[in-house]
Structure 1
Amino acid sequence: MEMGKLIADNQIQLEDIPQIDLYMDQVIQLFENTFGSTTRNEEEKVLTKTMINNYAKGKLFFPVKNKKYSKEHLILIAFIYQLKGALSINDIKSLLNGVNTRTAEGKMDLDHFYQLYLDLTKLNVDAFVNDLENQASRAAEEAKELNEDQPAELEKVLLATSLVHMSNLYRKAAERIVDDVKNEAD
């Protein structure tokens, strides 16, 4: 399997975010245009009106004005989109609560914070590519020990299970960080 096919990492860049407030349909279109290629199939939706309404009702971002979403809302929705694959909605709310509050009060430069996140994601992709190649090599070596008719399939199973294990380790670490953030806020 080609390694490039395994990497599905798109990000909304700051320059992609309009300087004007957007209506919900425009927000959805921006996210579809950016993340549509990362979905597993055409039925999978990147973002829906229901999702955005649920995030708003759950207070995952500060209230919108006149049914329009500001640049700050779009950044927060981008964070939510990235976090929802690994964390519960309650964990996301706890994690972003301070960011929301500081942003709504004008005490935080959310653009700068988001750019720091984007910088980290670039480093993460490089580290991921290296780790993925190492994991694939190890899985191939382990699969050679099997005397089976379909070693390519079993190699992929070993690689997938190894990657899921790594994902679980990272998710558990992130959950512990969320718990620390919650405890510090209390």
Structure 2
Amino acid sequence: MENIKHLIDQLGLENHIILEDIPNIDLYMDQVIQLFESKYNSTKRDPGVKVLTKTMINNYAKGKLLFPIKNKKYSKEHLILISLIYQLKGVLSINDIKSTLDGINKKVEEGDMDLDYFYSSYLDLSQKNAQQFKDDIQLKAVEASDKVKKMEDNDADYLEKVLLISSLVNISNLYKRAAERLVDQIVHEKKDD
């Protein structure tokens, strides 16, 4: 599959809201949405879909995925949490995200956490994950191509893509199940407290 490098480039793997992107002043909802749209616009599959909407943010607040907003303004900490929610919602349910971030919200509210350091650590791991992904997907593409060559089929390009899609979905499901188990551990440990 010759276009795998082009596919990787289209994914926007390096697109993240970094701490330098977040102003040290509180933002109104429209400004938050504008920040997310400008940063993640190129990563959307469908150009007509919004990255973040007022309804989404209101639902995050009502669902207590974020600590309370003051004066309709969102702090740097809120933006960091919204960014984490944005990443987590691709795989986890809203309830799982709430369970995952509940302790962080409490620590931030109590002033008992360096959220900037935590988020920087997340960004560092994300950067390493992106590099591993690039290497791995290229390897998977070669493996799929090798398997299809043995089939001697006229529709090799299509079969290669289906095999690669199936392999990537399998890996994705394994990671998703592992993440869900970790969420379950957080919930179980919280019940024991």
Q: Aligning the two structures, in what range does the TM-score lie when normalised by the shorter sequence? A: over 0.9
Instruction: Give 1:41 shift.
Output: 1.8
The match for 1:49 among 45, 54, 67 is: 54
Paired AA for residue 8 in structure 1: G
Question: For the residues of structure 1 that align with 2:135 and 2:122, how far apart are their CA atoms?
Answer: 20
Unaligned segments of structure 2, at least 5 residues: none
Residue 34 of structure 2 corresponds to: 29
The gaps in structure 1 that reach 5 residues or longer are: none
1:96-107 equivalences in 2 (<5 Å): 96-107=101-112
Which residue pairs with 2:148 in the alignment?
Answer: 143
Structure 2 counterparts to residues 52-91 of structure 1, below 5 A: 52-91=57-96
Q: What TM-score do you get using the length of structure 2 for normalisation?
A: 0.94
Once the two structures are overlaid, the 10-residue window that deviates more, 101-110 or 4-13, is 4-13
**Which residue of 6, 12, 26 corresponds with 1:8?**
12
Structure 1 residue 4, shift from structure 2 partner: 4.1
Q: C-alpha displacement at 1:184, in angstroms?
A: 1.0
- Counterpart in 1 of 2:170? 165
Cα distance in 2, alignment partners of residues 5 and 86 from structure 1: 21
Q: How big is each residue's C-alpha offset from its partner over 1:101-157, in whole Å with a ceiling of 9 and x where there is no partner?
A: 000110001001000000101110111111111100100011112232210111011
- Higher relative contact order by CA 8 Å / sep ≥ 6: 1 or 2? 2
Is the 2:99–2:186 Cα contact (8 Å) retained in structure 1?
yes
1:164 counterpart SS class: helix
Name the CA distance, whole Å, in 2 between partners of 1:95 and 1:119.
Answer: 19
Q: Alpha-carbon deviation of 1:8? A: 2.9
SS in 2 for 1:73: helix
Q: Does the alignment pair 1:118 with 2:104?
A: no
SS in 2 for 1:106: coil
- Give per-residue Cα distances to partners, 1:42-65, cap 9 Å, x unaligned: 111100000000000000010100
User: Where does residue 135 of structure 2 map in the other structure?
Assistant: 130
What is the number of residues matched between the two proteins? 186
2:4/2:138 contact within 8 Å kept: no
TM-score, normalised by the number of residues in structure 1: 0.98
